[in-house]
Amino acid sequence: MNAAIEHDTQERIDSEAPRLNGMVFSSAGGKRGLPLERYFAQEGVDPLSQAFDGKIAVHPGVGGGAIPSDEVEGRLEVLLDAPRSGDSVAYIHVPFCETRCLYCGFYNRGYSREESARYVDALLQELRLWEKRAAQRQGPVHAVYFGGGTPTALEAGDLERLLKAVRVHLPLANDCEITVEGRLYHFGPEKMEACLAGGANRFSLGVQSFDTNIRQTMGRLASREEVFRRLERLKSYNQAAVIVDLIFGFPMQSMEVWLDDIAAACSAELDGMDCYQLNVYGQTPLGKAIREGKLPPAADIPLQSAMFAAGVEALRNAFYRRLSLTHWARTSRERNLYNLKVKGGAHCLAFGPGAGGNIAGWLYLNRSDYRTWRELVLAGRKPVMTLVRPDSHFYVFRAVAAALEQGWLDLADLEKKHGIVVRPALEPLLEQWERAGLVERRGDVLELTLAGQFWQVNLSQLMQDFLKRALDEADK
């Protein structure tokens, strides 16, 4: 659903900077001896539109190295014996989509109704595999996210039994957030009621744009009117937070259309909305259509940054609360727990082909090939393909990423919590970013300006790379 931006990926597991459920699996830093200027932004220009040459599309993070495959099972055995402590989440992946959205870089498999029950049967088996192990059984799970792909594509009965099984096989906290991600197309009352009967308390729905022409050009099938009707129906149960995703920067989406998208979402009186920037990946149908001149280009950086700024202003004027730079809440029902926790380095129990988890900082990745994943699960084996040893400062990097995602970072607190000293090393970098108009400093707290918010992913990635160098030096 949000695949162009967040939560999940399938195809990139074996290639460039793979990440899952918001977690990054490869080292993004590591270049030693590079000049400080590598980390600098441009000065004397409009920072909102020109601070950097381009945006980094992947989620920020600095990973460790994958351990040899013949050591994976042994290491997992050790990890599984330890109860989880601290924040924990679970991610359940549903790889199917009814149609492919043009812009999606993470499309995996087409959906067929016959596959629904077979897939859920296998998922239930995977949920049982580690059920008796301390790392799954002990310690509350604070958020569960059904992502994809399109979880709402599954049949109503399968959605309900899957949701109910999660309650049986995972120790959910009393206030656990249970999110079902999906599309409004083919998500009628029967499926909505099945999700609610299963205990879902949050729906994150990919609307992307309310403009029927843009929606349908991008492969989203429901019209504006149908989207409103379905949202109204889902809200009428009054049992779960209803959130929509919007995207800015589509071809044909002028500033006027974007502001209408936000106004339309506000008029629906939902619990919250998430605003993401479109990333056009070259290998997607959208990238191809633009290259071949079949569609006009997507918004360039100046227009994207103006849309970002206009979106922030519109939602502030509508008195939405900002939960992170991309997530906005209107009511107290919306908490956005999964996204906030997973980015902060929470343990993550992951299920489904290509799903990525985290046990005590060790990132693991399930087999992404559906058939292999299913065969292994049905044979009673957890289909972990890759296990990544955490960098010695893994939790520092996750704390930086999570804080900047919310627009600020308390450096004194970071030092205190992690027993490190980073302020002297960071000083020249922060001074430069301040001169460039990307950050402001209030004592030890670093706050992103509006321009800094737009370039947050760059700043986060650069800061983590920089810190890795500095901390590795200090460790020598």
If one asks whether residue 22 binds ligand SF4 (CB under 6 A), the answer comes out as no
Query: Residues 186-205 vs ligand SF4: string with x where CB under 6 A?
Result: --------------------
| Given 55, 75, 100, 233, the residue binding ligand SF4 (CB under 6 A) | 100
Q: HSE of 130 in the Cβ direction (CA atoms, 13 Å)?
A: 26
- Distance in Å, CB of 102 to ligand SF4, minimum: 9
- For 311, phi then psi, to 5°, come to -65, -45
8 Å CB contact between 9 and 148: no
| Given 9, 150, 152, 204, the residue binding ligand SF4 (CB under 6 A) | 150
- Distance in Å, CB of 296 to ligand SF4, minimum: 20
If one asks whether residue 109 binds ligand SF4 (CB under 6 A), the answer comes out as no
State the amino acid at position 299 in one-letter form.
Answer: A
How far is the C-alpha of 128 from the C-alpha of 130, rounded, in Å?
6
Query: Residues 112-131 vs ligand SF4: string with x where CB under 6 A?
Result: --------------------
Residue (222 or 446) nearer to ligand SF4, CB: 222
Total residue length of the chain: 476
Closest to 364 in 3D by CA, of 79, 105, 102: 79
- Distance in Å, CB of 353 to ligand SF4, minimum: 14
- Distance in Å, CB of 137 to ligand SF4, minimum: 31
How far is the C-alpha of 223 from the C-alpha of 245, rounded, in Å?
16
H or E stretch including 198? helix 189-198
If one asks whether residue 1 binds ligand SF4 (CB under 6 A), the answer comes out as yes
8 Å CB contact between 67 and 388: yes
Query: Interacting stretch for ligand SF4, rule CB under 6 A, among 98-106, 239-247, 292-300, 327-335?
Result: 98-106
| Given 18, 29, 148, 452, the residue binding ligand SF4 (CB under 6 A) | 148
DSSP 246-292: EEE--TT--HHHHHHHHHHHHHTT-SEEEEEE----TTSHHHHHHHT
If one asks whether residue 246 binds ligand SF4 (CB under 6 A), the answer comes out as no
- Distance in Å, CB of 72 to ligand SF4, minimum: 28
Closest to 351 in 3D by CA, of 158, 197, 159, 128: 128
- Distance in Å, CB of 100 to ligand SF4, minimum: 5
Closest to 42 in 3D by CA, of 33, 60, 54: 54
> What is the bridge-based pairing of β-strands 172-182 and 141-148?
parallel
- For 443, phi then psi, to 5°, come to 65, -125
- Distance in Å, CB of 285 to ligand SF4, minimum: 10
If one asks whether residue 147 binds ligand SF4 (CB under 6 A), the answer comes out as no
Residue (47 or 285) nearer to ligand SF4, CB: 285
If one asks whether residue 151 binds ligand SF4 (CB under 6 A), the answer comes out as no
How far is the C-alpha of 453 from the C-alpha of 275, rounded, in Å?
13
If one asks whether residue 95 binds ligand SF4 (CB under 6 A), the answer comes out as no
Q: Give the footprint of ligand SF4 on this chain (CB under 6 A).
A: 1, 3, 97, 100-101, 104, 106-107, 148-150, 183, 206
